[in-house]
């Protein structure tokens, strides 16, 4: 399974996204605000999720903000650092 | 100053809403469920009164509940039901205060947070679980969902949470800080609560609660939410009035009880308290106990109040579901009830309610 | 309805700034602070976040540290009020205490053992059940009045003092011990780290470079007394609880309302209930945790409601003591109002151009009769206390 697919499944499960399936999440849609409707508490949860499932550390929210724009950007962020 | 109970929102093992609760009180029985818990001897089922929050879907879209845990869902459901019962669901909630009493708080989420630390290590603590594990998470979720912008108070005084919180709720109304208090009692059955029960009372759990049998160890853990909508008594129609609230420590002094009220005992099958209740009831006093309808939990004191309110509205007391015990049974007609709660060696609370 | 003032006749405090109220004040006025990485518990987190621990204090084994800290601060406050155990016995004394961890069935060791399939000793759980902070204080001093452990997260201590004042006004008790207590532990430490609002250096409330809070621990207690009892004893009021307000943001579980809606409402209520105008407030002890969000919202509300009024945060000296903070800061606010000198806001150096104002840079003499202490909490609870000058010394 590629990182994007895995990420979508984890998002739905760990953030308990009711009424959303992994397939419905588009790669480029914004995660926060209008897109998936995530908020600041989800953002910090996402930091833990990325650490837990991919072993990738997001040091602060400035870094997080860049990574969390979309599934695309987050997957790229993880790919870049995985195993680094 | 007298308070009046204008609405009741209640959920427990007996079902959802005042009608289910009243039906269970009239029939004198409720089906007891269980919760599975890991023990040193494998998974065991601990008897428990379980509450279902499915009724919440009538009031809020599922999507907005994705981060709301069972403890907060109980609070939300209780709140909506109480407002609906009082006909206030669509009225603006200005000058409304929120008071929540819980003995143990969100214990399932507290455990889930510890799990995140234990399984993932110190860098994988879940912030969502942490935020939801604070005792006032339920009040926060209710305020956010209902748009309550008045004062909010959560009290955790174990068995005395409800009477203690009621002291402050009454003051808010007496001092005119608010015109209405949404007053809720909540506790949840969680793996932790069940495991503690298993360790203390298991493995042979009593098949049914016999709270007025002072020597018997018959407690069964319970969960649910009992919300009362309280205002100053200004003559509007209501279930009943709350005349006085008193709580504190006796430290050897004598408990004083009204002689003209039915005593509603908070006894719940914990044998260490059974004797205290028996000693507290004066000879010849009429007494009743309804805890076998909702189970043993600190918030049960809030269910006592709701049961008393229903009895006073109808002017008829319910019979004690597990029999009258050594006391004079509740009379058919009732106009005044004193809810009595005892805890520890010397804590006490009396709440006197009367027919309007 | 105008609320009449409620006398404060005793103060007690224990925190990283000091083991007694005079010790704490010395640290505050001298600008001393020394947060260090936790020494009382271990962590495998790679970053060592500094905390403000209470040193040289050991709780008895049967009591939670939180409650032991509370008992210690209460003992100091009762001694300060000159209320002996004999005197207390004849009075109806209530106890109202804010906490965040003091009544939670939360024990990591117990949970770990249970998860590992063991049958852990019930002692840690029994200790929690026997250590409810308000109940523990009532037991320690034989208080017969109502006990209330307030769990309104970081506003708990402030609410406890406001509620206790209302009990005295309502004749529910003659004397009340009120404040807050909280201990520092692995659970809150890692919880706050996970929220990414802790600073890995000493906290800098209202500073341009602030990164978050440092946690702390301790207890702050006040003795409130009815006028009847006070007149009979001839006790001096060090200060008065004048007003109290609290309001919900109804906005978000962890983030404050961006306009500070609930805080404004709480301030308005605290001033209105005692009919004191905002211009008469001499200084404000701000919540000032050092998190970007809190300080932004708070400075904005302060600039609009209290233009030109000096403010400071004492969390640079104590860390954020959560449920204890409102109690500790009430004690500090009262003591500083009494002395007429407000300490500099520790940790503040650089003006943040995005904030509407700046906190006190140096100790400042103030002449006014009123001072405000405010708390903002998780769940959008906002609480505010207004204190008035006491009797002349």
Q: How many CB atoms lie within 10 A of CB B60?
A: 16
Range of the structural domain that residue B327 is part of:
3-354
The total number of structural domains that make up chain C: 1
* Active-site hit among C13, C154, C274, C336: C154
**Separation of alpha carbons C347 and C57, rounded Å:** 26
* Active-site hit among C287, C312, C317, C336: C287
- Optimal mutation site among C46, C190, C196, C199, interface A, most CBs of chain A within 10 A: C196
Q: How many CB atoms lie within 10 A of CB B77?
A: 29
pLDDT recorded at residue C280: 98
| pLDDT band with cut points at 50, 70 and 90 for residue C15 | very high
pLDDT tens-digit readout, C98-111: 999 998 999 999 99
Which whole number is the average pLDDT over B35-40? 94
Which whole number is the average pLDDT over B4-26? 98
With left for phi above 0 and alpha for psi between -120 and 50, is residue B182 left, alpha or beta? Answer: beta
State whether residue B130 sits within 8 Å of chain A by CB.
no
| pLDDT band with cut points at 50, 70 and 90 for residue C118 | very high
Q: For B144, which of C92, C150, C250 is closest by C-beta distance?
A: C250
Q: Which of C188, C183, C178 is nearest to C218 (CA)?
A: C183
Alpha-carbon distance values, C51 to A22, B51, C292, C322 (Å): 41, 41, 18, 13
Determine, for residues B124 and A51 on separate chains, whether the beta-carbon distance falls below 8 Å.
yes
Instruction: Please check the confidence at residue C347 and state whether its pLDDT lies above 80.
Output: yes
Q: For A48, which of B62, B65, B124 is closest by C-beta distance?
A: B124
Residue C299 to chain A, least CA–CA distance (Å)? 21
Q: C381 lies in a domain?
A: yes
State whether residue C108 sits within 8 Å of chain B by CB.
yes
Structure tokens at C305: 């409601």
Range of the structural domain that residue C151 is part of:
6-389
DSSP β-bridge partners for residue C224: C8, C176
**Separation of alpha carbons C69 and C324, rounded Å:** 10
Q: C205 lies in a domain?
A: yes
Q: How many CB atoms lie within 10 A of CB C232?
A: 10
Nearest CA in chain A to B69: A16
C-chain residues near B149 (CB < 8 A): 247-250, 261-262, 265
Residue reference for tokens 């994988």: B124
**Separation of alpha carbons C329 and C387, rounded Å:** 11
The total number of structural domains that make up chain B: 1
pLDDT along chain A (84 residues), means of 10: 91 90 92 86 95 91 90 94 73
Which residues of C161-232 form beta strands (DSSP E)? 175-182, 218-225
CATH number at residue A76: 1.10.1200.10
| pLDDT band with cut points at 50, 70 and 90 for residue C141 | very high
- Confirm whether C154 is a catalytic residue: yes
Q: For C255, which of A40, A48, A60 is closest by C-beta distance?
A: A40
Q: C325 lies in a domain?
A: yes
Contact C374, C205 (CB under 8 A): no
Determine, for residues C248 and B39 on separate chains, whether the beta-carbon distance falls below 8 Å.
no
Question: Which of residues 347 through 366 in chain C touch B, CB cutoff 8 A?
Answer: none
pLDDT recorded at residue B110: 96
State whether residue B177 sits within 8 Å of chain A by CB.
no
CATH number at residue C122: 3.40.47.10
Determine, for residues C248 and B104 on separate chains, whether the beta-carbon distance falls below 8 Å.
no
Query: Worst-scoring range by mean pLDDT, A16-25, B189-198, C71-80?
Result: A16-25
Percent of chain C with pLDDT over 90: 98
Determine, for residues A39 and C252 on separate chains, whether the beta-carbon distance falls below 8 Å.
yes
- Confirm whether C287 is a catalytic residue: yes
The total number of structural domains that make up chain A: 1
Which value, in Å, is the radius of gyration of the alpha carbons in chain B? 19
Name every residue whose Cβ is closer than 8 Å to that of residue C202 and which is 6 or more positions away in sequence.
C33, C35, C50, C214, C316, C347
**Separation of alpha carbons B314 and C293, rounded Å:** 52
Q: C82 lies in a domain?
A: yes
Which whole number is the average pLDDT over B198-203? 89
pLDDT recorded at residue A84: 55
Q: For B127, which of A18, A19, A41 is closest by C-beta distance?
A: A41
Determine, for residues B158 and C377 on separate chains, whether the beta-carbon distance falls below 8 Å.
no
Nearest CA in chain A to B63: A18
**Separation of alpha carbons B173 and C132, rounded Å:** 27
**Separation of alpha carbons C28 and C37, rounded Å:** 21
Determine, for residues C379 and B134 on separate chains, whether the beta-carbon distance falls below 8 Å.
yes
pLDDT recorded at residue A83: 66
Determine, for residues B67 and A51 on separate chains, whether the beta-carbon distance falls below 8 Å.
no
pLDDT tens-digit readout, C310-337: 999 999 999 999 999 999 999 999 999 9
Averaged pLDDT of chain C: 97
Percent of chain B with pLDDT over 90: 94
Determine, for residues B150 and C104 on separate chains, whether the beta-carbon distance falls below 8 Å.
no
Range of the structural domain that residue A52 is part of:
3-81
- Optimal mutation site among C132, C265, C323, interface B, most CBs of chain B within 10 A: C132
pLDDT recorded at residue B324: 94
Q: C1 lies in a domain?
A: no
Higher pLDDT, C300 or B93: C300
């Amino acid at each position: 399974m590629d990182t994007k697919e895995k990420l979508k499944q984890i998002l739905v499960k760990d953030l308990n996204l009711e009424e959303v399936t992994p397939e419905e999440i588009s790669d480029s849609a914004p995660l926060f605000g209008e897109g998936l409707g995530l908020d600041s508490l989800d953002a910090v949860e996402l930091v833990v999720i990325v650490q837990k499932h991919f072993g990738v550390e997001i040091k602060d929210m400035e870094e997080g903000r860049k990574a969390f724009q979309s599934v695309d950007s987050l997957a790229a962020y993880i790919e870049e650092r995985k195993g680094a | 100053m007298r308070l009046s109970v204008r609405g009741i929102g209640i959920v427990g093992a007996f079902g959802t809403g005042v009608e289910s609760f009243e039906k269970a009180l009239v029939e004198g029985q409720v089906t007891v469920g269980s919760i599975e818990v890991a023990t040193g001897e494998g998974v065991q089922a601990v008897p428990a009164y379980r509450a279902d929050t499915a009724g919440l879907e009538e009031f809020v879209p599922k999507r907005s509940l994705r981060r709301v845990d069972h403890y907060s869902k109980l609070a939300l459901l209780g709140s909506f039901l109480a407002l609906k019962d009082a006909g206030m669901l669509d009225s603006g909630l200005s000058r409304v205060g929120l008071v929540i009493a819980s003995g143990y708080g969100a214990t399932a989420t507290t455990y889930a947070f510890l799990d995140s630390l234990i399984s993932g290590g110190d860098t994988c603590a879940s912030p969502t679980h942490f935020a939801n594990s604070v005792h006032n998470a339920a009040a926060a979720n209710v305020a956010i969902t209902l748009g309550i912008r008045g004062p909010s108070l959560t009290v955790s005084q174990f068995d005395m949470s409800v009477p203690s919180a009621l002291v402050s709720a009454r003051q808010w109304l007496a001092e005119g800080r608010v015109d209405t208090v949404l007053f809720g009692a909540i506790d949840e059955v969680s793996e932790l609560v069940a495991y503690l029960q298993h360790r203390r009372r298991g493995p042979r759990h009593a098949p049914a609660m016999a709270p007025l049998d002072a020597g018997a160890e018959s407690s069964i853990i319970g969960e649910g939410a009992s919300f009362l909508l309280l205002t100053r008594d200004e003559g509007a129609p209501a279930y009943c009035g709350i005349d006085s609230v008193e709580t504190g420590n006796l430290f050897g002094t004598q408990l004083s009880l009204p002689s003209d009220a039915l005593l509603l005992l908070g006894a719940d099958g914990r044998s260490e308290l059974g004797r205290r209740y028996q000693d507290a009831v004066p000879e010849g006093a009429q007494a009743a106990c309804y805890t076998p309808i909702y189970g043993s939990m600190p918030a049960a004191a809030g269910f006592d109040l709701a049961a008393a309110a229903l009895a006073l509205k109808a002017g008829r007391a319910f019979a004690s579901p597990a029999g009258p015990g050594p006391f004079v049974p509740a009379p058919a007609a009732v106009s005044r009830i004193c809810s009595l709660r005892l805890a520890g060696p010397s804590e006490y609370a009396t709440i006197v309610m009367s027919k309007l | 309805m105008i609320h009449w003032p409620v006398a404060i006749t005793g103060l007690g405090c224990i925190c990283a700034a000091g083991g007694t109220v005079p010790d704490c004040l010395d640290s505050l006025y001298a600008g001393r602070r020394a947060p260090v990485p936790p020494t009382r518990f271990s962590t495998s987190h790679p970053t060592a976040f500094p905390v403000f621990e209470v040193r040289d204090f050991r709780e008895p084994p049967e009591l939670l540290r939180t409650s032991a800290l509370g008992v210690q601060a209460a003992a100091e406050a009762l001694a300060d009020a000159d209320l002996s155990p004999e005197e207390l016995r004849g009075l109806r004394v209530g106890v109202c205490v804010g906490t965040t961890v003091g009544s939670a069935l939360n024990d990591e060791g117990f949970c770990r053992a249970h998860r590992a399939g063991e049958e852990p000793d019930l002692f840690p759980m029994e200790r929690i059940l026997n250590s409810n902070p308000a109940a523990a204080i009532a037991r320690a001093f034989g208080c017969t009045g109502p006990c209330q452990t307030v769990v309104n997260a970081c506003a708990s201590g402030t609410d406890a003092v406001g509620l206790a004042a209302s009990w005295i006004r309502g004749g529910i008790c003659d004397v009340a011990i009120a404040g807050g207590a909280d201990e520092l532990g692995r659970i809150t430490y890692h919880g706050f780290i996970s929220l990414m609002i802790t600073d890995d250096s000493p906290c800098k409330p209202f500073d341009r470079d602030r990164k978050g809070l440092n946690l702390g621990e301790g207890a702050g207690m006040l003795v409130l007394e009815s006028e009847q009892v006070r007149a009979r004893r001839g006790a001096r009021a060090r200060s008065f609880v004048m007003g109290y307000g609290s309001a919900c943001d109804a906005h978000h579980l962890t983030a404050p309302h961006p306009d500070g809606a609930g805080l404004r409402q709480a301030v308005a209520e605290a001033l209105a209930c005692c009919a004191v105008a905002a211009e008469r407030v001499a200084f404000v002890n701000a919540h000032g945790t050092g998190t970007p969000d809190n300080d932004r919202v708070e400075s904005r509300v302060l600039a609009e409601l209290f233009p030109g009024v000096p403010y400071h945060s004492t969390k640079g000296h104590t860390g954020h003591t959560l449920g204890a903070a409102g109690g500790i800061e009430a004690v500090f606010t009262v003591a500083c109002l009494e002395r007429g000198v407000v300490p500099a806001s520790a940790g503040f150096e650089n003006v943040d151009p995005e904030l509407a104002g700046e906190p006190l840079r140096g100790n400042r003499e103030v002449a006014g009769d009123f001072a405000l202490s405010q708390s903002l909490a998780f769940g959008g609870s906002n609480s505010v206390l207004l204190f008035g000058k006491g009797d002349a010394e």
